[in-house]
Chain A
Amino acid sequence: MDFQTAAKIGSLLAKDYAEGMFALLVNYQGISASEAATRLNLHIKTSQDFLEALVELDILTGTEVFEKKRPYIRYALKTDRIVIDLDLMQVARKPVVDELSLRVREKENAGARFTVARSGDSIASVAIWIGEGRDRQERKIKLTPPQGRFFYHLPFPKAKPLTVAEIMHKAGLGEEIAPEILDLIQLAMKYGVVEAIQ
């Protein structure tokens, strides 16, 4: 299951009427949106949106039936279990050699404010300005200890750039830390704090 699907299921289950709605679906052979709405004292649109969303997620079936000439949909459970099985490793960053050999250094006039950690051998946080004019806001990014050490050893603007792997070596960081360092570099490049030099 991907994150988006899990998030949709999660948000539907979080509705305060979700349990009542599922109780109706489990105990009734089939139910329409208006029947569910009157039973749970909901607006029909709320009931309809909820049931349609469950159909989209393949948890319910929706069958069109006719009362005289007026069509409506009756909903029934397609499954008696909802299993949210989310493989967290699907968002894991796998560092590739190219990323680790990226030559980086701090960008000149980045306007970032670095706060040195109390220990004096790493950066605790970086404050950057985002937006323009009156919408300009300060965004403070707190760094993890390995990220702080990486930033501490990052070459200065105009200094000779080093590869990510070289900086990590200088900072005494193992390869297992690479994903969080690469995540930081990506963020820092996005905000113009770090530049990659070919």
Chain B
Amino acid sequence: MSLVRKLKPDRSITGPLVPLSMLLIFGLTAWIFNLRIGFYTLGFLTAGYALYTLYVVLRTRNQGHIVALVYQLFVGYLCFNFPTYIERRYLDRVEFALAYFSVLLFFGVLLAYLVLTRKIKWRGREIFELAAEPIETANNGYTSRPRPVGKVEYSRQELLDFVRFAARHLVALPYITSKNITLVPVKMGDEFGRVLGLSDDYRDATWVNFDMDGNVSVHISQKDYLDYREPLAFDELCQSLGQVFIDFAELQKKGEGVRFIDRMDDLRIGIFS
């Protein structure tokens, strides 16, 4: 497996920016007002983040995000009650403090495990690296048009199974209509905008579309194309991206979808990129 990266290094800080901003706001409100207000603010922010995570869970059925959701809800609950615990000196009781600390530690370790094993990582970068792997020529040729790349012989139910699998493993975000099933690969850092619909229309993003006749077409956004170090042959790149998903669907149909996940893991792309 080649580890030569074709994408530019990821220097985006959007991912860690959200929790860091929350801590910064907590610090500021606690400093300007008092600790109670600070904790309440942090509680509201965590609850907001939990709502986002809940939406991700509903949208993708990713199990790792359920753990993150429970953790965020617990932290939020703790934030709302912490000032009272301090006032009433609950934390002086060892068994009380130990219980809270154990829950925090348990979920913290579990969450770290999920992050390190890439169970809650959006796999957009892996997809783009896999698509670029066989492309050696660099002659640009970018166009905003989609490209028909082939045909698959799947029933709608089989396609839906594949799409659910892809969503569950955060390979791509699905958009399902009566005529089309579109998969949009999401890179880490882009997930907030894409999931919450704050980014541009998904049709302007990079996507792989399966219509009800099994025709597969691909569109690569200019932003994602410019993320490659070299101006790769665009025609071949589109074909390759479509093929990545066709191969993935083929493996998933045989019940070996996890092999595709392993293939992405083998790329050893950073857990936050």
Residues of A that sit less than 8 Å from B by CB: 106, 108, 112-114, 116, 119-121, 123, 151-159, 170
State which of B46-54, B64-72, B90-98, B136-144 sits at the interface with chain A.
B136-144
Whether the Cβ atoms of A152 and B146 lie closer than 8 Å is yes
In the bound complex, CA of A121 to CA of B233 (Å): 23
**A-chain residues with CB within 8 Å of residue B235 when the two chains form the complex:** 155-156, 158-159
Total contacts A-B at CB 8 Å: 58
Whether the Cβ atoms of B148 and A158 lie closer than 8 Å is no
Whether the Cβ atoms of B142 and A120 lie closer than 8 Å is no
Tell me the interface secondary structure of chain A in the complex: loop
Q: A116-B203, A116-B219, A158-B139 are in contact. Are A123 and B234 (CB under 8 A)?
A: no
Which of B143, B211, B217, B238 gathers most chain A CB within 10 Å?
B143
In the bound complex, CA of A164 to CA of B146 (Å): 19
Closest Cβ of chain A to B156, distance in Å, is 15
Closest Cβ of chain B to A51, distance in Å, is 56
Within 8 A of A (CB), among B194-239: 203, 209, 211, 215, 217, 219, 233-235, 238
Whether the Cβ atoms of B180 and A120 lie closer than 8 Å is yes
Q: A155-B235, A158-B234, A159-B235 are in contact. Are A120 and B145 (CB under 8 A)?
A: no
Residues of B within 8 A of A (CB-CB), count: 23
The proximity string for B residues 171-182 relative to A, scoring 1 for CB distances below 8 Å and 0 otherwise, is 000000001101
> Is B36 interfacial (CB-CB < 8 Å)?
no
**Nearest CB in chain A to that of B141: its residue:** A158
**Nearest CB in chain A to that of B181: its residue:** A120
Whether the Cβ atoms of B146 and A157 lie closer than 8 Å is no
> Is B147 interfacial (CB-CB < 8 Å)?
yes
Whether the Cβ atoms of B145 and A121 lie closer than 8 Å is no
**B-chain residues with CB within 8 Å of residue A152 when the two chains form the complex:** 145-146, 148
**B-chain residues with CB within 8 Å of residue A121 when the two chains form the complex:** 148, 211, 215, 217
**Nearest CB in chain A to that of B237: its residue:** A156
**B-chain residues with CB within 8 Å of residue A158 when the two chains form the complex:** 139-141, 233-235
In the bound complex, CA of A154 to CA of B141 (Å): 13
Whether the Cβ atoms of B209 and A120 lie closer than 8 Å is yes
Within 8 A of A (CB), among B226-262: 233-235, 238
**A-chain residues with CB within 8 Å of residue B238 when the two chains form the complex:** 156
Q: A116-B203, A156-B234 are in contact. Are A108 and B146 (CB under 8 A)?
A: no
Whether the Cβ atoms of B143 and A120 lie closer than 8 Å is no
Q: A120-B180, A159-B235 are in contact. Are A114 and B209 (CB under 8 A)?
A: no
In the bound complex, CA of A112 to CA of B142 (Å): 11
**A-chain residues with CB within 8 Å of residue B203 when the two chains form the complex:** 116
